[in-house]
Structure 1
Amino acid sequence: MFTGLSAFPLTPMNETEIDESAFSRMVSRLADAGVDSIGALGSTGSYAYLTREERKRVAQLAVAAAGTTPVMIGIGSLRTAHVRALAEDAQNAGAAAVLLAPMSYQQLTADEVFGLYETVTRELSVPLCIYDNPGTTHFTFTDELHSRITELPKIGSIKIPGVPLDPAEAAGRVNSLRSQIPSTVTIGVSGDASAAIGLNAGCDVWYSVLAGVLPKPCLALTRASQNDDRKTATALSNRLEPIWELFRTHGSLRVVSAIAEYLSLVESPNLPQPLRGLAEAARSRVADALQQVDLL
């Protein structure tokens, strides 16, 4: 479950409803491409903007459309009681795993975050991936906290932020964390621009935003690293640099939204307000980047 390439699709919507048909088609497309798992209702899936009933429905759609490909469902919410309810919905939908970020309005302490995971894992029947994403949660995990949490039952993986761009520093970062967690817990890199570096440094899985819309080049990169062909993995990542630059400038969510529109996978608008899609000039740069990388 927690190895290889995990693709995170959009949850396309307008202010009236989720585009269920488009979402199901995107998930089926990822399964057909051969990704190792699908991560629904991550940050790219706009989980924080949806009601419990909407999230329950998306979980059901994702599992149904994925076929035999395992699906991980995001269950992050502000209150522990809500997280527990979302975990129950995800498990009832047939999720193979759940993904939990420590969402907050008030700044959380390390003990409060540990308590969240302790409470939730006590009731789980499927494994959980720790979602370490300080860019959205504004909470920074320490390796000591990761060590404490990974001793809990049902912890299967840690989704870490992007690793340092220097390969030696990246390897040091991964090895340091690995030395403090059980061998049964995998380490997954996010931050797509550093994915090749992270995989080459020993990460077990790439939790990928771009794979939600462009699975084939992301699979090629992942498989190269898995086959210890680091040179090819690095070259494939370098080829995607025009997209990484757009991610850095505009944020990955808005860029993959524009890519999905360009590929006619979704209609416009497809993001929850107050989020907005890219302006026309930026959309043109997305189209140029896609033509430049030529990996559709």
Structure 2
Amino acid sequence: MTETTIFRGLSAFPLTPANAEGVVDTEAFARMLDRLVAAGVDSIAVLGSTGTYAYLDRPERSRALATAIEVIAGRVPLIAGIGAMRTSWVEELARDAERQGADGLLLAPVSYTPLTQDEVFHHFEAASAASGLPICIYNNPGTTHFSFTPELIARLSALRNIASIKMPLPANGDFEGEIRALRSSCGSGMSIGYSGDWGAAPALLAGADAWYSVVAGLLPGPALRLTRAAMAGRQAAAQAADTAFEPLWSLFRAHGSLRVMYLIAEQLGLRHGAPPLPIQPLPGSVGKAVEEALRSVG
């Protein structure tokens, strides 16, 4: 399994079902993961933002990862989120993931005190040295409140094991220009992917290597249809799939994708736990809108 195959195509980000005390429901989690493998996603990323990694302690993160490794059993690449406040904790999580059998790592620069560009560089440098697994840079300013400069991304791309970047949607909508600039500064070996599900179709049509997808964590079939069409350059089919998703994208933008994912899981009859406090479940009126959006997706 190469770094190229790990960070390419549709990467599904499932919820991590847990109770109010943050104890992972491994049976429910296994069921979610098995659905994704059966659907044929290109990779599964556990303990990302949708997997509520920031709300789980190290033992529960380890239990979740152990469950994923047992269920997936090498059938698709498994990416493990290792974001944490302290660099030493990230190093420990990287070593844990490698020892347990993950195929790749996802790292966001989690912070309380705002971080400088140099501090984030050294944070990633330490993570890169802690294990031999390839790392995806998690560029998610919406949750970390840290913005990677193009210079920092280029600098990080030269580190051992840095293999991919998960980008937010460009404010100006210029996917082609951003991808071209990143390939120029980081080299052709760096995989470039996007999150922000409502931008998946234009990102993939513009030449992105991967869609790091929230919705694929529960709706892998429709997400795969969009991915395959866009990566094959079938613009009309990709746009049709994106249009079917639009009612759901609207809910994601209005309420936050994580909250909506719990309602999707409920509609699908999956045991999903509840959002970790202080995040509150959405009201029933939104559940009705989710039901209608799922009918649009088919």
- Whether the 8 Å contact between 1:165 and 1:194 is mirrored in structure 2 is no
Choose which of 90, 95, 118 in structure 1 pairs with 2:125.
118
State the distance in 2 between where 1:162 and 1:34 align. Answer: 25
Q: How does 1:144-223 map to 2 (within 5 A)?
A: 144-163=151-170, 166=173, 169-223=174-228
SS of equivalent to 1:122: helix
For 2:265 and 2:170, locate their aligned partners in 1 and report how far apart those are by CA, in whole Å: 26
C-alpha RMSD of matched pairs (Å): 1.1
What's the counterpart of residue 286 of structure 2?
Answer: 282
Cross-structure match for 1:80? 87
- Cα shift readout 1:38-74 (whole Å, capped 9, x = no counterpart): 0000000000011010111111111111131110000
The Cα of 1:104 is off from its aligned counterpart by 0.1
Measure how far apart 1:115 and its partner are. 0.4
2:110 corresponds, among 100, 103, 115, to: 103
1:135 and 1:203 map into 2 onto residues whose CA distance is: 21
TM-score calculated relative to the size of structure 1: 0.96
Give the SS at the match of 1:240. helix
Tell me the amino acid that sits aligned with residue 51 of structure 2: G
Alignment partner, residue 243 of structure 1: 248
What amino acid is the match of 2:279? Answer: L
Aligned 1:55-70 pairs, distance under 5 A: 55-67=61-73, 68-70=75-77
Preserved CA contact (<8 Å) 1:163 1:198? no
* Alignment match of 1:227 (pick from 227, 232, 240): 232
Matched with 1:51 is 57
Distance 1:181 1:244 in 2: 31
Match of 1:261 in 2: 266
Q: CA deviation at 1:231?
A: 2.0
1-structure distance, mates of 2:39, 2:172: 28
Give aligned-pair identity as a percent.
49
Deviation at 1:165, TM superposition (A): 7.1
User: Following TM superposition, by how much is the alpha carbon of 1:164 offset from its aligned partner in structure 2, in angstroms?
Assistant: 5.1
Aligned-partner residue type, residue 213 of structure 2? S
Q: For the structure 1 residues 128 and 91, does the alpha-carbon distance in structure 2 shift closer, same or farther, using more than 3 Å as the test?
A: same
**Native 8 Å contact 1:131 1:159 kept in 2:** yes
- 8 Å contact 1:186–1:204 — kept in the other structure? yes
One-letter amino acid of the counterpart of residue 136, structure 1: T
Q: Does 1:7 align with 2:36?
A: no
Alignment match, 2:3: none
Larger deviation: 106-115 or 116-125? 116-125
CA contact (8 A) 2:81 2:106 kept: yes
Which letter maps to 2:30?
A: S
- Aligned partner letter, 1:207: Y
Conserved? CA contact 2:207–2:231, under 8 Å: no
Instruction: Give the 3-state SS of the residue equivalent to 1:92 in structure 2.
Output: helix
Compared CA separation, residues 63 and 171, structure 1 to 2 (3 A): same
| Segments of 4+ moved more than 3 angstroms | 163-166
Q: In 2, distance between residues paired with 1:292 and 1:119? A: 45
Q: Deviations over 1:173-216 (max 9, x none)?
A: 11111211021110001100000100011100000000000000
- Counterparts of 1:142 and 1:219, CA distance in 2: 31
Quote the residue 1:127 is aligned against: 134
Gaps of 5+ in 2: 1-5
What is the distance in 2 between the residues matched to 1:119 and 1:85?
A: 11
Per-residue CA distance 1:212-255 (angstroms, 9 max, x = gap) = 00000110111111212122112211111000000010000011
Q: Using the alignment, how far apart are the partners of 1:95 and 1:199 within structure 2? A: 26
Length, aligned pairs only: 291
Taking the aligned partners of 1:214 and 1:258, their CA distance within structure 2 comes to 12
Retained in 2: the 8 A contact 1:128–1:157? yes
In 2, Cα distance between the equivalents of 1:162 and 1:197? 10
Q: Would the aligned equivalents of 1:271 and 1:277 in 2 still touch at CA under 8 Å?
A: yes
